[in-house]
């Protein structure tokens, strides 16, 4: 019996130490396995951090363009050398994110108001040049993006462009 105790001590320790080492080894093996599964799921895009909806983070850059008309056409008057002049512009917004159509519709009164203010503040000379028209388009697009960003809380609202489909001065 004394020989058995001496052999156990010389062989690396008591059976209790061996059991503890095996339990710790098993726990570490399980932890590494779980970590590996999470790493693989993250790298495959299965963990999006948004409540489990992987479609919320989908890349919309490959989606077809959606054109949303701003109707009715914008009509403003302005003064030119003492005469009252009129400007009528039809515009369409381009996006690839269909959820932006709902946001555009929801905030249309604010969008129309601010674009009307931009249009009514123009000089007649700028309306007759390509550069002037492009400047109006750029200002209106920037204002549209600013409104949507402010109202939705998004930094990039996914509006690709704003295009004139009719431009009439009288």
Q: Which tens digits make up the pLDDT trace of 117-141?
A: 999 888 888 888 999 999 999 999 9
> Does the pTM exceed 0.75?
no
Question: Regarding predicted confidence, which is higher, 28 or 156?
Answer: 156
Cα(29)–Cα(5) distance, integer angstroms: 31
HEC per residue, the chain: CHHHHHHHHHCCCCHHHHHHHHHHHHHHHHHHHHHHHHHHHHHCCCCCCCCCCHHHHCCCCCCCCEEEEEEEEEEEEEEECCEEEEEEEEEEEEECCCHHHHHHHHCHHHHHHHHHHHHHCCCHHHHCCHHHHHHHHHHHHHHHHHHHHHHHCCCCCCEEEEEEEEEEEC
Cα(154)–Cα(108) distance, integer angstroms: 17
Question: Regarding predicted confidence, which is higher, 162 or 78?
Answer: 162
Question: Regarding predicted confidence, which is higher, 37 or 81?
Answer: 81
The dihedrals phi and psi of 133, each to the nearest 5 degrees, come to -65, -40
């Amino acid at each position: 019996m004394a020989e058995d105790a001496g052999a156990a001590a010389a062989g690396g320790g008591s059976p209790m130490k061996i059991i503890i080492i095996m339990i710790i080894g098993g726990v570490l093996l399980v932890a590494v396995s779980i970590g590996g599964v999470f790493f693989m799921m993250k790298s495959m895009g299965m963990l999006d951090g948004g409540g489990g909806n992987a479609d919320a983070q989908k890349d919309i850059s490959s989606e077809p363009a959606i054109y949303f008309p701003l109707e009715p056409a914008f009509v403003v008057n302005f003064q030119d050398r003492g005469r009252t002049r009129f400007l009528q512009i039809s515009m369409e917004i381009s996006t690839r994110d269909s959820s932006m159509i709902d946001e555009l519709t929801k905030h249309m009164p604010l969008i129309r108001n601010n674009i009307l203010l931009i249009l009514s503040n123009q000089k007649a000379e700028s309306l007759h040049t390509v550069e002037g028209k492009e400047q109006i388009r750029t200002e209106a697009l920037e204002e549209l993006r600013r409104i949507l960003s402010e109202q939705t809380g998004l930094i990039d609202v996914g509006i690709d462009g704003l295009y004139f489909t009719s431009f009439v001065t009288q």
